[in-house]
Structure 1
């Protein structure tokens, strides 16, 4: 495929020559690679090619290798191509994403040609954030959520995020604590039935944000799990990914204020100020639910993960205790449970498979 992919890059950019320069990273479970190409005779010096190649044998690094996992990944790459083709251009400059130069499919392989964010000034990557850096990412998320509030996720996951319950029955079955397992449908129902829905990034971890040298501006990448949902899925997941336990407990309330202030400002700027108060009230109530739901996923998927700690456990169990008191637990991931206090029912939520 080397000559064919090089031709794809050259033709899409109008370059006289396209030279494969370096592999930036291999994709999860051996599903391809992300490569930088250097160009001659084009408008830009370099571009990024995300080249998806489905393996003959599945090899999940955590052991979750089955057809359900494979089909989820196949769908995720289709969603990402749809995101860049149909949605990325609608993002405001304050929620920066790579410009899509071309998409293509050759047989079972997917090609996604993107702007090189390093060349655009977003060359820094982080695995842990200061409070100020976390605030910049929360500004990005707030503006992204405001931009797409009320949009139906056409071509994307009906319910965004890679870890929500409908996509993870195997991990649900592996949960050892019966109370967490029983509460899972109620947690999921509260989030999926939120009245105020937007597009979520779906994998808003710190590794998917790119920073300028002064870390005062950020861009986001990796939209395989973009789709509809409550913005708290992104916020709860992000805070858990970029802060250690001590920082999360100490800074969480302040960082939530930063997010909601930015969300309100963005909603007013986009002519959606009439719903700003209602969105904030609902989503504030759902933030601990999203935290508990992600904890539910982790203890089934990888219970010794570093994100499973005393604070995340206490937060999750407090929500689960409330579910038990309200009688909202059930027996399986296919069940429909009533929403937790603070959420509002809606018929628009559809789970991805």
Structure 2
């Protein structure tokens, strides 16, 4: 009996593959050696052709095969884990590919598949289609013969996979989109900045119109008669992912990393729009659609859709390629070929939109200036815990900070419920200038008990209660903590993973957070932030410090949160009765996304449309150099003028976050003084999530 998929060995790098390991993967102890040749240009994985030598008769084991493993590039590896594509592709070959093989040989045979959810590594041993196979090229596009073959294979693939869309055990194929309208708008903003000189005004106008309609397009899809034929889609069906052997009329389809349930027409639109010269596509479209339809009908034994319905579905999904070109170009690592490919694909997809009159299916365009930028607010019930999702990095987090500059004491606390990891997270820190940093960090914290309004954790060295009174949601929150905290004379010790510098100290917190502004709901995620006045008592080794209405911030989020998938700068700072929250998300592809607000106590909230952070790190050649020594933030309220804020970190309270798969984030946190250009001064907390990408620094 085969081992469960998650217990099979994986291959971290090609250097780790040995003849004995390869023999174990193949179930053939006669493997005596192999040579590996790198092939392909994948951005989130590495692909090798293996030429295998055997000590005796090899039986059914092949002389050559293809090995696919995770990328050794830390950013690409992090993206593969965070997006779930390593798990998806190995699961496709385990669970879906055999059914496809029964109807068409267009999917390479799989000799071995394994995925380790803890380490994030995987291994696929696949049939070698042959070194003389022609790999499709997105930039060159398809010939008519290649397009015919691609459409026929797509029809057979969709037929073979159709039944999986309705089976309960395949819920992993039903993936909720992570792209919402606010995120799409910000990614498009970054796209325009990067490619403005390379996109024609006509095509840029098509993109603008689609971005404006993105939020309301789901309503169009729910209208009577608008529902397209659903099934299991490849999700990335283009020439780069199709191989054409020199003999016969058979193509091989690879890279099943985006397979999911969806409208079958998105695969059609993605290939027909992106892989064909627009002039040739206009001439060939009817024939290619009929080729697909004939293959779909023949493989299924009965008609599933008419040609007219197929054309309607194609029109409804014509913008899929536009979306993919915009989003993918910003989120993946930028290369010259990648830039050429994305601009070419965008141009072709925009021409498909125009030729199909896909604008006719969009909701009416909003009037100029009619975009509603009224800040969003959470509901009172959002204060309470939410149902967990299956995503590995789904978490629910409650965060609190405070600054009492006059008494020289600051701190922050975070409770993170992480049901799909090894345990919950709990962190409590107190920083005092000239004194050791006090830190309690627990990444295997026990499950919480209590009602929805009360969260209680009882561990060996600490006890904590978080509570909000019924009727006080979003207004008042109390936290109580008592336990042993490690003492660090230098905060960089935490980043390096060193032991505490002195004995543990007794720490107690009894703090109440009173909201002094409007709770601000993020547009791109389920999260809100609230400026607060904080009162209570901090007790260190029996010595009390009383806080009275000092500035602070709290937030609450419930969503997938992979600290190792991107960098960011978060900040919350206060100038008397004026409160700022400014976050700059930093995607590995280079895009940056602003989030935040400025508001007066009891006054209106103004969203920020621009956040640009420029920080300087200590000039030290070690992890210690990741501590930020100063920073400038330029914030731009929506419709207002940019303002420059100077930040002087005073006390660092960082963490070193290590994922189950070994990735490291240096999570520098500091309280500091801030100064506006008009001379006003204030205080706040700041954090820099910095992924370690050089193995020598880990």
- The structure whose RCO (Cα within 8 Å, separation 6+) is larger is 1
CA distance in 1, matches of 2:248, 2:93: 25
3-state SS of 2:126 partner: strand
CA-CA distance at 1:210 after TM superposition: 1.4
User: Which residue of the partner structure matches residue 181 of structure 1?
Assistant: 211
Structure 2 Cα separation of the partners of residues 165 and 96 of structure 1: 30
Larger-gyration structure (1/2): 2
- Residue 250 of structure 1 is matched in structure 2 by 283
Distance 2:178 2:248 in 1: 34
Q: What residue in structure 1 maps to residue 156 of structure 2?
A: 143
Superposed CA offset, 1:137-162 (max 9, x none) = 101000111122242372644149xx
Residue 272 of structure 2 is matched in structure 1 by 239
TM-score under structure 1 normalisation? 0.74
Mapped pair 1:276 → 2:304: yes
Contact 2:315 2:358 in 1 (8 A): yes
Structure 1 unaligned residues grouped into runs of 5+: 61-66, 333-352
**In 2, Cα distance between equivalents of 1:204 and 1:311:** 14
Summarize the alignment of residues 66-81 of structure 1 with structure 2, pairs less than 5 Å apart: 69=79, 71-73=81-83, 75-81=84-90
Residue pairs, 1:157-196, within 5 angstroms:
157-159=173-175, 166=179, 170-175=183-188, 178-187=208-217, 194=227, 196=229
Structure 2: distance between partners of 1:5 and 1:77: 18
Contact 2:274–2:321 (Cα < 8 Å) also in 1: no
Structure 1 residue 261 displacement after superposition: 2.2
Q: Which residue matches 2:643?
A: none
Give the strand-richer structure, 1 or 2: 2
Decide which of 46, 63, 82 is 1:45's aligned counterpart: 63
Is 2:135 the partner of 1:125? Answer: yes
Per the alignment, in what secondary structure is the counterpart of residue 307 of structure 1? helix
| Aligned residue among 95, 104, 115 for 2:114 | 104
- Which stretch of structure 1 is more off in the superposition, 296-305 or 105-114? 296-305
Pairing 1:205–2:238 present: yes
User: How many residues in Structure 1 have an aligned counterpart in Structure 2?
Assistant: 310
Give the 3 Å change call, closer, same or farther, for CA 155–23 of structure 1 in structure 2: farther
* Match in the other structure for 2:34: 19
Verify the 8 A CA contact 1:232 1:287 in the aligned structure 2: yes
Cα offset for 1:296? 3.7
Deviates most, 297-306 or 202-211: 297-306
Please give the secondary structure, in 1, of the residue aligned with 2:357.
helix
1:88 match: 97
**Structure 1: distance between partners of 2:126 and 2:181:** 30
**Shift in Å, 1:289:** 2.1
Q: Report the 3-state secondary structure (helix = DSSP H, G, I; strand = E; otherwise coil) of the residue aligned with 1:246.
A: helix
The answer for unaligned runs of 5 or more in structure 2 is 1-12, 190-206, 330-338, 374-559, 561-698
Over 3 Å counting, the alpha-carbon distance change for 1:158 and 1:256 in structure 2 is same
Q: Alignment partner of 2:149: what SS? A: helix
Q: Deviations over 1:216-239 (max 9, x none)?
A: 211111100111111111111112
Return the TM-score normalized by structure 2.
0.40
Decide whether aligned partners of structure 1 residues 267 and 70 sit closer, same or farther in structure 2, where only a CA change above 3 A counts.
closer
Task: Check whether the contact 1:172–1:297 (CA below 8 A) recurs between aligned residues.
Answer: no
Deviations 1:47-82 (A, max 9, x none): 1110114643x269xxxxxx8x56544x01100000
> By how many angstroms is 1:168 displaced?
8.7
Output the CA distance in 2 between the equivalents of 1:17 and 1:168.
54
**What is the alpha-carbon distance in structure 2 between the residues aligned to residue 264 and residue 321 of structure 1?**
29
8 A contact 1:165–1:188 mirrored in 2: no
Query: CA shift at 1:187, angstroms?
Result: 4.2
TM-fit CA distance, 1:326 = 9.9
